[in-house]
Structure 1
Amino acid sequence: MEDVLTDIPLPSRFFSEDLNNFTAPSPPLPSPFLLLSTPDAKNPLCPSLLIITVSSPSLYIFHHVSSKTLIGTLVLPEIPFSGNFVEPSLRDKSCNIYALNDADNLIYVVSIQYPVPAERSHAVAKLLIGEQIVPERVLILDSVQSRNFRGKLSPDETFAFKLETSLERKDPTLLKGLDYFPSGSVVDGLAPALLGRCQMKKIKGTLCVSWPEFGGSVMSLVKSLLLKDVLPRLECNSDGDSEEECSRLGGVKNHLLDSELYT
Structure 2
Amino acid sequence: MAGIQDPLTELPPPSRLDFEELGNFTLDASSAPPPAFISWDANVEFETPLRPRLLFIASSPSGLHLISHLPEKRLLGSVVLPAEDQSDEGSSKGSLSDDGNIKGRSVYDARNPRKQSVHTCNVYALDGEHASVIMVAVQTPIAEERANTWARAVLEAIAADRVMVVTMLQREHYRGKLSADDEVIFRLETDALRLEKLGKEEATMGHDDDVPYFPSGSIVSGFPAAVLTRCQLLGLKGRLLLSWPESRSSAPSLLVTILNRFPDIQCLDFSSSLQVPFKGKSVSDLEIYM
TM-score (norm 1): 0.73
Moved more, 210-219 or 118-127: 210-219
Give 1:128's aligned residue.
Answer: 154
Contact 1:226 1:232 survives alignment (8 Å) = no
Verify: 1:200 aligned to 2:207, yes or no. no
Q: Does the Cα contact within 8 Å between 1:227 and 1:234 map onto a contact in 2?
A: no
Superposition CA RMSD, Å: 3.4
Query: What is the letter of the counterpart of residue 58 of structure 1?
Result: G
Show the counterpart of 1:12: none
- Give the match for residue 166 of structure 1: 191
The residue aligned with 1:220 is 253
Residues 256, 270 of structure 2: 8 Å contact kept: no
State whether residues 65 and 273 of structure 2, in contact with CA within 8 Å, keep that contact through their aligned partners in structure 1: no
User: In structure 1, what is the Cα distance between the partners aligned to 2:242 and 2:148?
Assistant: 19
Name which of 37, 40, 45 aligns with 1:36: 40
CA distance in 1, matches of 2:40, 2:96: 19
Q: Is the aligned partner of 1:110 residue 2:126? A: no
Q: Would the aligned equivalents of 1:64 and 1:236 in 2 still touch at CA under 8 Å?
A: no
For 1:85 and 1:242, locate their aligned partners in 2 and report how far apart those are by CA, in whole Å. 26
Change (3 A) 1:224 1:83: farther
- What is the deviation of 1:28? 2.9
Deviation at 1:39, TM superposition (A): 7.2
Alpha-carbon shift at residue 192 of structure 1 (Å): 0.7
Relative distance call for 1:241 and 1:66 in structure 2 (3 A) is: closer
For residues 152 and 232 of structure 1, the distance between their equivalents in structure 2, rounded to whole angstroms, comes to 34
Task: Find the counterpart in structure 1 of residue 214 from structure 2.
Answer: 181
Alignment of 1:1-263 (within 5 A): 27-37=31-41, 38=44, 43-78=48-83, 86=97, 87-88=99-100, 94-101=120-127, 106-129=132-155, 131-172=156-197, 176-177=208-209, 178-229=211-262, 230-238=265-273, 242-244=277-279, 247=280, 250=281
Q: For residues 232 and 135 of structure 1, do their structure 2 counterparts lie closer, same or farther at Cα, with a shift above 3 Å needed? A: closer
In 2 relative to 1, CA 88–36 (structure 1 residues): closer, same or farther, beyond 3 Å? closer
Residue 40 to residue 235, structure 1, CA distance change in 2 (3 Å): closer
Structure 1 residues not aligned, in runs of 5+:
1-20, 255-263
Letter in 1 for 2:270: E
**Bigger Cα displacement from structure 2, 218-227 vs 143-152:** 218-227
Q: 1:179: Cα distance to partner? A: 1.6
1:259 corresponding residue in structure 2 = none
Tell me the secondary structure at the aligned position of residue 194 of structure 1. helix
Cα distance change, pair 251–74 in 1 and its aligned pair in 2 (3 A): farther
Q: Could you tell me how far apart the structure 2 residues matched to 1:166 and 1:33 are?
A: 27
Indicate if the aligned counterparts of 2:164 and 2:239 stay in contact, CA closer than 8 A: yes
Q: CA deviation at 1:150?
A: 1.4
The amino acid that maps onto 2:160 is P
Report the residue type matching 2:141 in the other structure. Answer: P
Stretches of structure 2 that go unaligned for 5 or more consecutive residues are 1-23, 85-90, 102-106, 108-118, 285-290
Shift of 1:128: 0.9
Q: Are residues 184 and 239 of structure 1, via their aligned partners in 2, closer, same or farther at CA, if it must alter by over 3 Å?
A: closer
Whole-Å Cα distance in 2 between the matches of residues 40 and 104 of structure 1?
10
Deviation at 1:156, TM superposition (A): 0.6
Cα separation, 1, equivalents of 2:33 and 2:234: 26
Q: Tell me the distance in 1 between the aligned counterparts of 2:282 and 2:122.
A: 21
Structure 2 distance, partners of 1:231, 1:67, is 17
Percent identity at matched positions? 33
